[in-house]
Structure 1
Amino acid sequence: MKFFSSQCSFDYPWAHVSASAWKKYPNEMSTHVVAVDVLRREVNPATGVLTTERLITCKQNIPRWLLAVVGGRDTSYVREVSEVDPKTQVFTLRSVNLTMNNLLSVQETVTYSPHATDPSKTVFDQTARIEAYAAFQKLCNKIEDWSVDRFRQNAQLGRAGFEMVLDKLAQTVPDNMLAVTAKL
């Protein structure tokens, strides 16, 4: 089992970042994400929390040796469940791979929350637990190491792509409009 962790802050307020998160894909930097489909969306009337379930379709450049070993393909599916709490201003996304999950489990959690001392910034926190299942530990280690490296590369590209989305939204939607929609 391997772990991945990444933290950073975006130079935008939480309302801007949380609105932009819905527009993150597709973007020029994360070309491995080819489709995002909303399966379910609901607001809890008691708490105001918005819960959304999405199916994310990815195309990965998977090494031939791995495809030969597991008999997989380069298209994969990820289930993402997110919760946006406008009262606490925490946006949490939890995702898990659906494809080849009997051979490799990837469980990711991402949170966006206001910076503790600077409300013009948003803190991004990402963690992932990656575990391979195979008869040989050496093979598990190789799959996990490759997966962590791929996850790291995709995270860097994803962050760069999200910065582009944040910039684009900042040019088209005034911050006061984002603050209003965040409170709805």
Structure 2
Amino acid sequence: MKFFSQSFLYDDPWPIVSLAFFLRYPNPYASHVLSCDVISREFTSSGSLLTTRLILKKATLPRWAPKGIISRSESWIIEESEVDPHGEVVRCLTRNLEHVKAMQIHENQTFRQLGEGKTLQTTEARIVSGFGWGLTKQIENYGLARFRKNVQRSREGVTLILDLIRQARQQPMTLSSSYLNPTSASRLTANRTSDQFLSEPHQVPEAGDPS
């Protein structure tokens, strides 16, 4: 079993960072995400918003992995989140539903409002393999290395969406989907209004794993 823990401070207030987190797909740093769908959403009696999303991701294997270790190249991920507007905190638990014998990752993220309009993100994860055959430790080390890399890419994706939200809030201009290209993030066109982008569901085209 391997453990991961990391914190990151955003220079943006909690409501904006939370919005960017839930709008993070699609983005060019998450090309391994094939789809993301809300399967349930409800309010609690205390006013918190509970959401469950089903995410399909493309799985990759290292070259040393034996053939047949997983049955297919995609994996369903379940994401369960709570948005507490009174406590100004988002709690999110994510775990894979497939290939759990080869490797299962339980990820826990929180976003908390701090002083001076900043937001603290804390990410913790537990990586476990039950594959055996002398490969358990190697698989867990591989999973930890990939998870650490993907956390960085996820943060870059959230940061990109934060930039888009700032543009939408600061000027009544229309935003092009080309803004999602990190090499042309400042380009603005009249293809789509910012309100449409922030409210419409998006489907991610099939692509390979970014790493």
TM class, shorter-length: 0.7 to 0.9
Q: 1:121 maps to what in 2?
A: 118
Give the gaps of 5 or more residues in structure 2.
Answer: 171-211
Moved more, 118-127 or 79-88: 118-127
Q: Give the CA deviation at 1:60.
A: 2.9
Matching residue of 2:146? 150
Contact 1:48 1:85 in 2 (8 A): yes
Tell me the distance in 2 between the aligned counterparts of 1:35 and 1:98. 15
Instruction: Give the distance between the partners of 1:76 and 1:131, measured in 2 at CA.
Output: 16
- 1:161-172 to structure 2, matched below 5 A, reads 161-172=157-168
Partners of 1:33 and 1:58 in 2: how far apart? 4
C-alpha distance in 1 between matches for 2:11 and 2:101: 39
Q: Report the equivalent of 1:83.
A: 82
Q: Does residue 74 in structure 1 map to residue 73 in structure 2?
A: yes
Contact 1:67 1:73 (8 Å CA) reproduced: no
Return the offset for 1:94: 0.2
Equivalent in the alignment of 2:128 = 131
Instruction: Give the C-alpha shift of residue 102 in structure 1.
Output: 2.8
Of Structure 1 and Structure 2, the greater strand share is in: 1
Identity of aligned residues (%): 35
| Structure with the higher fraction of residues in helix conformation | 1
Q: Could you report, residue by residue, the CA deviation over 1:80-109 in whole angstroms, capped at 9, with x for unpaired residues?
A: 100000000110100111011133221000
For the aligned residues, what is the CA RMSD? 1.4
Under a length normalisation based on structure 1, what TM-score does the superposition of the two structures give? 0.87
Rate the CA distance shift 1:47–1:39 in 2: closer, same or farther, 3 A. same
C-alpha distance 67-135 of structure 1, shift in aligned 2 (>3 A): closer
TM-score (structure 2 length as normaliser): 0.76
Partners in 2 of 1:74 and 1:159 — Cα distance?
Answer: 24
Length, aligned pairs only: 170
Write the deviation string for residues 111-137 of structure 1: whole angstroms up to 9, x where unpaired.
00012xx3311000000000000234x
Deviations 1:13-33 (A, max 9, x none): 001111111211110111111
Query: Match of 1:180?
Result: none
TM alignment of 1:45-84, pairs within 5 A: 46-66=45-65, 68=67, 70-84=69-83
2: CA distance, partners of 1:48 / 1:67: 48
Please give the secondary structure, in 1, of the residue aligned with 2:86. coil
Q: Distance in 2 between matches of 1:168 and 1:159?
A: 14
Shift of the alpha carbon at 1:51?
Answer: 0.3
Runs of 5+ consecutive residues of structure 1 not aligned to the other structure: 175-184
**Greater mean deviation of Cα atoms: 149-158 or 61-70:** 61-70
Contact map agreement 1:92 1:111 (CA 8 A) in 2:
yes
